Structure formats: structure tokens, C-alpha cells
Structure 1
Amino acid sequence: MSTTPSVTPSWRMWSIWVVGVLAYVLAITNRTSLSAVGVDAAQRFNADASMLSMLAVLQLAVYGFMQIPVGLWLDRFGARPIMAIGMVLMALGQIMIAFAPTVGIAVFARMLLGAGDAAVFPGVLRLIATWFPAQRSPVMVQLTGIFGQLGQIVALIPLAALLHSTTWSIAFGGLAGLGILFAILVWALVKNHPPERSADVSVNTDTGAIEIVQSSVDTSVGIRAAWNHPGTRLAFWTHFSTPFAGTAFVILWGIPFLTVGQGLSLGEASAVASTLVVAGILFGPIMGTLSARAPVHRSRRLVLPAVAIQMTAWLVVILWPGQAPLWLLFLLAIALAVGGPASMIAFDQARTHNPSHRLSTATGITNVGGFLAALLAILFIGMAMDLQGASQPEDYTLSAFKVAFLMQVPLWVLGMVFIARERKRTRIWVGIDEPRRPRIKKPKREK
């Protein structure tokens, strides 16, 4: 049903968004909290490369697995309780990491972290759809993604500095304390819907119509309906292909590659990794503007070029004889930064091709793609290091890293193939392209 525009004061919806975005910044900090301390983690838990990968892989696996349930819970309960529970789970995970005596407990703690993290970004998207006018949604989604990435800088610089100046337990215990603080802030300040409405709502961002949320009893129906639309599958493969290289670099393997493999100091390596984050922030508005100007050409003009740029940059660094010059490593970071803003196009694709009552479900399916690819990349890189005998930090070599990072190429190729395939199907579905006519075999002439 449609209704009149919201009369909620603008300060209220902006304050709710700010709390949501700050919670997302903390979620990103938690997600990437091993980024600058991967070598420290390997030494603390006496973990080989594969086990170190498992700390990140199982975290991302739980994150991806939880996306669809979180989407369904958001449709039913709204953002406030789901986000608050997510913050508490992340706090529990970090306090366990702070005092974990064994790598097994650390792995379980990172899984808790992934479960809590899964609730935050979809929750903020829910708040945007509920509180803001429909026409602002694409810009607000991009702004959320942009500011959220500041959490990576927090993990790369202040957290690493705190750990090296104090202790492991103090650094990760501090993150746990922030998690509890933001659980309280979310519960106290975030509201599911404006006060003039009596229920949580779902906004059709194409028409601006506002509908009361009604979750289907048979949730599998909504999941199947979302996946059956080629536009949802296009969104899935867009998110699969674009951000995983940057995620693998920032979450775990980038700093060890730059310090041990490329011989950079920790300060230089942090500068390279921070460039990836800052460049992603700068590219966000540009990518959002280009996406809005060419909505029917986003895959061909933006997504596929973004994938090609990342793959080319990595291949240049890998094929460079010996250690790469510092300028090339900065260019690699800039190239990887394109992936984050390009991945946000996937959420516009999901929104465009799904009705409001299954928007959170389609968003969850889309979000699974990027983190499935990221966990595969992190796992394959760790396995490749182990197979070359580079299991411990003292065994890491540049040549081993180069071979290991080649494991990303099949994921890029797979993603590009399916993007091209689902793009064609989507354009046929919405009537932009004509379906291919089956070839009619000519009858053979009788002799």
C-alpha cells in the first residue's frame, strides 16, 4: 500500500543512519582485525598457513551461510534487534580471541565473529530502505559502503599499533568492549520504522510504494523465487567476482606478502594496504554516478572492466622478476580498490529485479557471492603456500606467494563467464534483448 511521505524529522533518520554506519565500521574492523597481525597470529597459535587461512575461511563461511537467514529475520523482526544481537556475538568472539589458549578456540571465536558480522551490513541496508526516500537509496548504499571501509584502516593502523605497544589480550579485549558499547547504542537509538508508522515496512525503490512486511511461512519459496530471477543471479556473480581479491588481501594475506615476500617495512606495508582502502572510498562516488547514468550497461562497462583491471594488476606483480618496485605495489592496491565500489552495483541489481517483500532475501543471496569467493581465495592461497613448504612465517618466500596468488585467476574467470551469461538472460527477461531463435534445420534434398 502506498502512503504519504514520511514526516519524521531529518535529524532522526540521519542519527539512526550514523549509528548504523558506525556499527558497520566496527564490524569491518572486527572482520579485518587479523589483517595487520597475521604473522603475530601465526606465532601466537603456532599455526601453519592452512590453519591461519581457516581462521578467516570459517569466519567468512559462517558470514556467507548466515546471509539468507539474516535476510529473512530482518524481513520479520526489523533491523534493531538483529543488529544488536550481531554486535553482542562479535564482542563474544573477540573476547574469546583475546584469551584463546589454542587455535581451535580461536577458530570457533572467528566463527562467532562471522555470525555477528553477517547481521550488520544488511541491517543498515534495511534502515536505509525504511527511513529514507526511495530515490536516495543508491546514494545512501554507496555512502554506507564507503564509510564502512574506514574499519579496515582502524584494523591496519591503530589496532596493530595497540597490539604491538601493549598485549594481544588488551587489543582484542578492547574490540570486545566496543562491541558491547555499540550493542547498547543500537538498542537504545535505532528504531525499526518511523514513529508515524505502526509496523516495519518494506520500500519498493522503483515506485516508492511502502508496504507492510509480511514474511512467508514457507521461506524456501522466497529464496527460490529470488534465485530464479536471472537478475538476482547476475547480482550474485557480480558480488562473487569483484571484491574477493581485495578482501583476501586486506583480511589476511596482504601484509605478510608485502612484509615477508616483498621486503617492505610494516609502515610501508600498512601504507600500501591503507591506499587500497582510501582509493576504494574515492572510487565509490564515481562508480555510483557511472552506475546511475548507465543502468542497463553496468555489467559491461563497469563490472567486467573492474574484474579485468584487478586480474591484470596482479598478473603484472606476479610476473615481475624479483621484488616489485614500491610504485607498482601502490598501483596494485589502487587496482584492487576498484573491486569494492564495483561490488556495490550488485545490490542495485538485486534491488532492481526483486519486489520489496523479498528484497532482504535477495540482498542476502547477493552478499553470499562475494564472501564465498573470498573464503575460497583465502583457503586456496593458504593451501598453495603449504604445498610449497611455506607453512610457517619463517618459511614464507616471494616465489611461494606469487604461485599462491595465482589461485585467484580461476575465480575471476569463472565469475566473468557467469556474469556474461546471466547478463544476457537478464536482458532477455526484462525485454531489452530478443531471445535467440532456435536454428531450423533445412530438410535434406531427395536424390
Structure 2
Amino acid sequence: MSATDTGRHPLRLPGDPPGGPRAGVVWGIGVLVYFIAVVHRSSLGVAGIDAADRFHIGASALSSFSILQVLVYAGMQIPVGLLVDRFGTKRVLSVGVVLLTAGQLGFALCHSYGLALAARAVLGCGDAMTFISVLRLGSRWFPARRGPLIAQGAALFGMAGNLVSTLLLARLLHSAGWARTFTGTALGGALVLVLILLFMKDAPEGHRAPPAQPMAPAAVRRQLAAAWREPGTRLGMWVHFTTQFSGMVFLLLWGMPFLVESEGLSRADAGTLLTVVVASNMVLGMVFGQVISRHHGARTPLTLGVIGATAAVWAVVLPWPGHAPMWLLVVLCVVLGACGPASMIGFDFARPANPPERLGTVSGIVNMGGFTASMVTLLAIGVLLDATGDDYRLSFCTVFVVQLLGLAQILRLRGKAARRERETITVSRVETVHTVEAGAA
């Protein structure tokens, strides 16, 4: 049993942020930035077929858009974590919004494949700066016990960005055209930049942020090594790796082509099913957040349950003779909706094992997991589609290979992480009691 299988939580530490309405406003601005980032990120998921026509490319080249974007995102996670720990949320988010807007605007206006790839790379760089910053912002404005709800809440609003893409952008592409649709989404970045500059603050008054971490190479190596030594950090990364990618790949690029070209659905019906993924994600995100906030011991069962359910539903859909029935595709989409909330559990494994001054770095390591898995799967599916003459069923078997790798690492690390978390929580409680006693004296 882990340290938190009893459902109890560490005592609230002295100086813990109080939360409150102001915290909600500041954190809400950060979440709005993440919402815009997800709109930009997922816009290609509903425009994949249009992009193939616009740039005259095949499946492998089409997958390169998402692969490059995810490659940049994953590669930026640790540097961004270090930057957030060093410079704070406001500065990093401001730069991220500028890059997001520039990348989306460039993608809207260019006509060549090479320039479009460059635009998605810039967008991926800006996108990489958002979620870690929002997690850090939540940890500075809300009590630690609210961590799981804050993380799941941020993910929920991010999925609302996916909802905008699946419901709105798909229609705008056919009514307003490529350039106007993507330019319109880019303008959202300018609005949130103004809000950041005017109203965002890294921490509430009277609650100092952790000391800025030095960026000298030796200090960075020590920061990374200390974070990586914690089994909870590594477990969190592999949980994120194993749970997130299946739903991400489906929404980011290959869901629409799979449903239309392999399952014979209309684009309207396929768009509706993508909306089911998003809606399931949003509902289950709040359920998972509430459950984990009350019972941290539910983390491992939820993680393994989602991995098992995802593998099981793909194992039924892919070999189905002919087109899978609509009810089965709905079940697939509901289960894929659980992938995002399950991936957030990775942060809940990593957070208790590390001090506040390493939170950005640790979040970067964890967040890198799922996007690395997504990048590998996006590439593998694209290559296999070209090699097999668009055999989606065989190509999507890549999911099982990636899941098996991640599951093996989770099972290997969970015991070490549980023992280390017990030690950390015991030390925190002793220090809290000593602090309270000293204050009373």
C-alpha cells in the first residue's frame, strides 16, 4: 500500500496559499492561455484532410506536421520547466503566447509545405510553455491539497479547446476557408497576452515564490539529477507516457481519417465522435480529480484501469469484420476520453516527492512522457499507413506496443515510489508539527 492508500493527506503547511476569488481569477487567466494553446494544437486534427489537399501531401508527410509539433513540445518540456523555476509563470507564459500566435498565423497564410512545417514548429514551442506554467501558477495560488483538482481542472478547460476545434473549426473551414479560420484563432492569442500583462501575478501578496533556481550548467544538471532520482518523478513520467498518447493521437491527427476512411463514416459523424472523446475527457477529468483529492490510493487503480480499458476496446475495434458498429465506436471514444484525465495522475505521483522549487522542472519531465509516446505513435502510424496501403487497423496496432513498454515501467517503479512517498510525507508531518509548536512557544 502507498503512503496515501488510507485516503489521508499531509497536513496543511504554514504559509500554504489560501486560494480564494483572487486566486481563481489569476489562475483563470492562465487556464485561458492553455485553452487557446489547445485550440491551436488540435486545429490540425479536424483539418488533416484539408491540409493534405492544400499542401498536396500523403499520410507520412501529413503526420510530419503533428510529429514535428509534438517533437518540439516534448523537447521543450525540461527547458521550459527550468525556465519557469527561474523566471516565473508570467514571463514564460507571455513568451509562449507570442510564439503560439505567430505559429498559428504563419500556418494560416503559407501555401508551401516547408513553411507550414516551420509554422507548426513555432506553434509547438509556444504550446510547450503553457501547461507547465499553469500547473506552477496553481501551486502558488492554491493550497497543496487542491493540487489534483487544480491539475484536472486545467486539463478540463484545455479539453474545452479541443471541443471548440471539433465543433467550430470543422464548420468554419468549409464556410470561411483555410486562411480566415486559422487567422481568426490566432487573434485569440493577442487577447490573452493583454490579460497576462495587465492582471497576472506569479504569487499572492505575503506568499513568496520559492527562490529562483540558477541557470548555470552545473546548477541545471544538479536540478535535473535531483528530480530524476525521485522514483515518483519517473513513475509520473511513465504514467503520463502510457495513458495520454492513445487519446492524443486520435484527437491530434489520426482520429478523423480513421473514422472516415477506415470506418466509412461521414465527416459530420466523425466530428461528432471526436466531440464524444472531448466530452468524456471533461466529465471524467472532474471525476478523477475529486476521487484522487479524497483518496490518493486510487491513483494506481485508476491508472491501470484506464490502460486496460484502452487496450481492450482497441482489441475489439481493430479486428472487427467490416465497419465497426456505431455503438462500439462510441464506446471507443468514451474510453479514449479517459486517457487525458489518467495522464494527469502522473503529476500526482511526482508532486509529493519533490520540493516546490523543483515543481516546474519535475512537471516538465512528467509532461514529456505522454508527448514522446504520442510523437512515436504518430510517426509509426503514418509510416505503416504508407507501407500497407492505408491499412488503418494494422497501423493502429502500434498502440499495443507503446502501452506494453509503459506498463512494464509503471509496474517496476510503483513500489519504490510508494516507499519514498511514505518517507516524504512522514518528514513533512514532523516538520509541520515542529513548526506549529515553535510558533505556539
TM-score calculated relative to the size of structure 2: 0.89
Partner of 1:426: 417
Deviations 1:171-207 (A, max 9, x none): 111121111221222122211122345x5x14xxxxx
Take 1:142 and 1:148, find their aligned partners in 2: how far apart are those partners?
A: 10
Take 1:7 and 1:380, find their aligned partners in 2: how far apart are those partners?
A: 46
Q: Does 1:415 align with 2:425?
A: no
Alignment partner of 1:308: what SS? helix
Structure 1 letter corresponding to 2:406: G
Q: Does 1:262 align with 2:236?
A: no
Indicate conservation of the 8 Å contact 1:85/1:183, yes or no. no
Deviations 1:283-302 (A, max 9, x none): 11222233344424522x11
Take 1:309 and 1:118, find their aligned partners in 2: how far apart are those partners?
A: 29
Q: Does 1:227 align with 2:228?
A: yes
Deviations 1:329-371 (A, max 9, x none): 0000011111111111101111011111211111100000000
Structure 2 residues not aligned, in runs of 5+: 1-12, 424-441
Superposed, which structure 2 residues align to 1:69-148 within 5 Å? 69-148=79-158
Alignment partner of 2:318: what SS? helix
- TM-superposed CA distance for 1:220, in Å, is 1.2
| Cα distance change, pair 7–344 in 1 and its aligned pair in 2 (3 A) | closer
Take 2:225 and 2:55, find their aligned partners in 1: how far apart are those partners?
A: 42
- TM-superposed CA distance for 1:415, in Å, is 0.6
Take 1:53 and 1:255, find their aligned partners in 2: how far apart are those partners?
A: 13
| Cα distance change, pair 108–216 in 1 and its aligned pair in 2 (3 A) | closer
Structure 1 letter corresponding to 2:411: A
Take 1:5 and 1:340, find their aligned partners in 2: how far apart are those partners?
A: 28
Q: Quick check: 363-372 or 213-222, which moved more?
A: 213-222
RMSD of equivalent CA atoms: 1.7
Q: Does 1:13 align with 2:23?
A: yes
Q: Name which of 35, 44, 49 aligns with 2:45.
A: 35
Take 2:355 and 2:120, find their aligned partners in 1: how far apart are those partners?
A: 34
- TM-superposed CA distance for 1:95, in Å, is 1.1
- TM-superposed CA distance for 1:125, in Å, is 0.8
Superposed, which structure 2 residues align to 1:317-356 within 5 Å? 317-356=317-356
Q: Name which of 184, 190, 199 aligns with 1:174.
A: 184
Q: Quick check: 289-298 or 321-330, which moved more?
A: 289-298
| Cα distance change, pair 357–319 in 1 and its aligned pair in 2 (3 A) | same
| Cα distance change, pair 423–261 in 1 and its aligned pair in 2 (3 A) | same
Take 2:105 and 2:298, find their aligned partners in 1: how far apart are those partners?
A: 46
Alignment partner of 1:90: what SS? helix
Take 2:54 and 2:421, find their aligned partners in 1: how far apart are those partners?
A: 54
TM-score calculated relative to the size of structure 1: 0.88
Structure showing the higher helix proportion among its residues: 2
Indicate conservation of the 8 Å contact 1:234/1:426, yes or no. yes
Indicate conservation of the 8 Å contact 1:216/1:222, yes or no. no
| Cα distance change, pair 431–22 in 1 and its aligned pair in 2 (3 A) | closer
- TM-superposed CA distance for 1:264, in Å, is 1.1
Partner of 1:394: none
Alignment partner of 2:203: what SS? coil
Superposed, which structure 2 residues align to 1:385-400 within 5 Å? 385-390=385-390, 400=391
Partner of 1:314: 314
> What is the identity percentage for the equivalent residue pairs of Structure 1 and Structure 2?
39
Indicate conservation of the 8 Å contact 2:45/2:255, yes or no. yes
Partner of 2:277: 276
Alignment partner of 1:34: what SS? helix
Indicate conservation of the 8 Å contact 2:247/2:337, yes or no. yes
Structure 1 letter corresponding to 2:380: F
Superposed, which structure 2 residues align to 1:190-269 within 5 Å? 190-197=200-207, 199=208, 201-202=209-210, 212-215=211-214, 217=216, 218-269=219-270
Q: Quick check: 255-264 or 329-338, which moved more?
A: 255-264
Take 2:328 and 2:298, find their aligned partners in 1: how far apart are those partners?
A: 31
Which structure is richer in relative contact order (CA contacts within 8 A, separation 6 or more)? 2
Take 2:79 and 2:248, find their aligned partners in 1: how far apart are those partners?
A: 23
Deviations 1:421-444 (A, max 9, x none): 011222344569xxxxxxxxxxxx
Alignment partner of 1:163: what SS? helix
Take 1:5 and 1:293, find their aligned partners in 2: how far apart are those partners?
A: 19
Take 1:234 and 1:74, find their aligned partners in 2: how far apart are those partners?
A: 22
Indicate conservation of the 8 Å contact 2:232/2:349, yes or no. yes
- TM-superposed CA distance for 1:405, in Å, is 0.5
Indicate conservation of the 8 Å contact 1:84/1:184, yes or no. no
Structure 2 letter corresponding to 1:421: R
- TM-superposed CA distance for 1:137, in Å, is 2.1
Q: How many residues align?
A: 409
